Structure 1
């Protein structure tokens, strides 16, 4: 049941375009006691069907800029290959610390941005 709940919330976050892995990986590591390397691979594989359905809805709502997709996908694939090889040489403990530091930085950035922007004055992107 715990895994299903974690997957549900990761799907919600992923569907909103914020990356379900930011929820899924820490939740699997912290609450399900899964090794970080296994959690990363589970995240990658489980994101495929979630991404397909979310993408179809975003395309239907005309929220995809296709000219951005090719360079991002191309260099993303190159980065994924590189990252996969690097992850094989790093310990799970170090990967956990790197990912935690990344989440801390992103969280601090979002808090700072939220403080700097006046309430109710969020910029809408077209």
Structure 2
């Protein structure tokens, strides 16, 4: 993986994230398929990527009045519990199953997005 390719992939996925396209998912695909990184390592980098992008997105959403304070408490609590449970489960799974599961998840989300555009 060249440094220039990695920077360009990060820049492109960051821009796409700003448009709401799902740059984190695209970054995972880049890291695993092109850069040859293991799924678990790519997932960790994707989490770091999210932590870098999330504050800017949160600031923009708060500024535009799109964040409900009461909902944040419930969502954050449920998110922390779910993230811990999922990470514990994933640490005991074969990476091949994680790849297949993530691939199926992406196909499902893409299918739903296509169906939503039809309606």
Please classify the TM superposition score into its range, dividing by the shorter chain length.
0.7 to 0.9
User: RCO higher in 1 or 2 (8 Å CA, sep ≥ 6)?
Assistant: 1
Q: TM-score w.r.t. structure 2 length?
A: 0.87
Q: TM-score w.r.t. structure 1 length?
A: 0.82
- Indicate the residue corresponding to 1:120 in structure 2: none
Given candidates 92, 104, 108, the residue that maps to 1:105 is 108
| Matches of 1:17 and 1:113, distance apart in 2 | 15
User: How far is the alpha carbon of 1:67 from its aligned partner?
Assistant: 1.9
In terms of fraction of residues, the more helix-rich structure is: 2
Give the count of matched residue pairs: 116
List alignment gaps of at least 5 residues for structure 2.
none
RMSD (CA atoms): 1.6
List alignment gaps of at least 5 residues for structure 1.
118-126
